Structure 1
Amino acid sequence: MLELIVREPAKKTKQTPLLFIHGAWHGAWCWDEYFLPYFAEQGYAVYAPSLRGHGQSEGRERLRWTAAADYVADVAETVAKLPQPPIIIGHSMGGYVVQKYLETTTLPGAILLASVPPQGVWRIALRSAWRFPKQFAKLNLKLSLYPLVETAELTKFHFFSQDMPQEQVNRYFTKLGDESYRGFLDMLLFNLPRPARVQTPMLVFGGQDDAIFSMNEVKATAHAYNTTPHFFPMAHDMMLEAGWEQVAGKMLMWLENQGID
């Protein structure tokens, strides 16, 4: 069973639902902080599942060997429950899952926030091994990605701007969980996205101060999907950072320009 957070608008003015897919270590909670209430207020029905092994979803005991295909199946299961095909939004690893899902399904639109690029995560893996050799060694010995975020300090480095209040960082840190080692291998090499198979219109965002994916990697993602990236002065967790309103507003503008109702 997958946790699914649903927010219905007080007055529904939009027919197309929005589906939000979280990234590694996170759960549906990360969208419910700001984005779900915001878009519900704009008249959208909004949905955010926690992928298996995350949040309040089942599967934590099997998380280590959960494959990317399993996450894609979770998205397909959630889409099947919606009243009609959604706009799908993915952050980080969630952006990777969205790309994989769209290889075989076409939706009205998709938005990637600080997403895993089609080339995979080998660059960030190398950077992590260089920056945090002890954590990276522990990651491979334990077959667990949690060592990269095992302290509030590491969490802040990877996800948030340095001026985010520490009490806010601490609150988010307590909500993080482990991540699939098999999923990491899929994103590294074994199941990379195939942009040529994707027909869905795409919007690509990145953070100028993202410690995980560089601006060049975000540009490569946008190029792969024949679009132009948009950057914001923030770190990796764009939906939780100060300035999230600008990101949400740009998303809303794009939806309106696409004629999506």
Structure 2
Amino acid sequence: MGTHGQAGADPAAPHRGRLEAFVVRARRVEAHSLAADWDALVALAGAPYTVTALGGGEAQIRQEYPAEEVVESAAARVRPLLLENDACSYLKALAALGYFCREPHDATWVKAARVEWRTRADSNASREDGGYQVMIGDDVTGWTAELDDRKLATAWIYGDVVHHDTDLLEEADPFGLSERFRAAVPLVAWVMVKAIELLNYVRALQAAGLLGLPAALFDREVVLTSTCWEHTVRAYTAPVGTPAPADALAPFTDQWTPWSGSAVLLHADD
């Protein structure tokens, strides 16, 4: 005998839940320092480089990217968006948005965004959809190898940064850390761009009253703007071994007396 969902359950609730998870994650991406200059972020997603002719058939190719630490932190923020099983994944957010879209142009936008994401962000997409191929070889042994930019980028993200995937590293190691990083930067920047664009699309639909997400979702704290804490407390001292209050609302026993000493530097494990 089959079962049915709870009577009166909101069929839109799971979709709103995925959008809520995405909004929180995308706002963290939006708050990253790389996103402070939108035009620069968009340009970075395009893997910019300059070519200077040196004469005699030679040319110099130059690329200058942000420091690896900066891109690492950005990669950590966008990583859940790349994982289809994560609650906040980009593709889950698109699917959830598609549930609410009633206008043809909204549905068309969602479909185009999905195709673009799978083409650029999926390391298993066809080789022809990649940005470029890197080929290396050994003149002595005749050994050769090649990888496209997406696989190199994936190796940096999941091998060098947020995981230590030995299979990815083994495949990409002959190309070197520099080559992996060079491929990853534009991908990370591109994912940031797409996440922020989708976030703004969600904001627009929310403002039009089409989503019904909690208003506080767009204002709640998602990143720390200060890592210095200063607050006034009531401090007590007691002989070593005196039991602490049972919980936050329990009173101090008579063995605990107000502290009135001078300033002192303490550590949490003191």
In the superposition, the TM-score normalised over structure 2's length comes to 0.24
Highest CA radius of gyration, 1 or 2? 2
In the superposition, the TM-score normalised over structure 1's length comes to 0.25
> If each structure's helix is expressed as a fraction of its own residues, which one has the higher value?
2
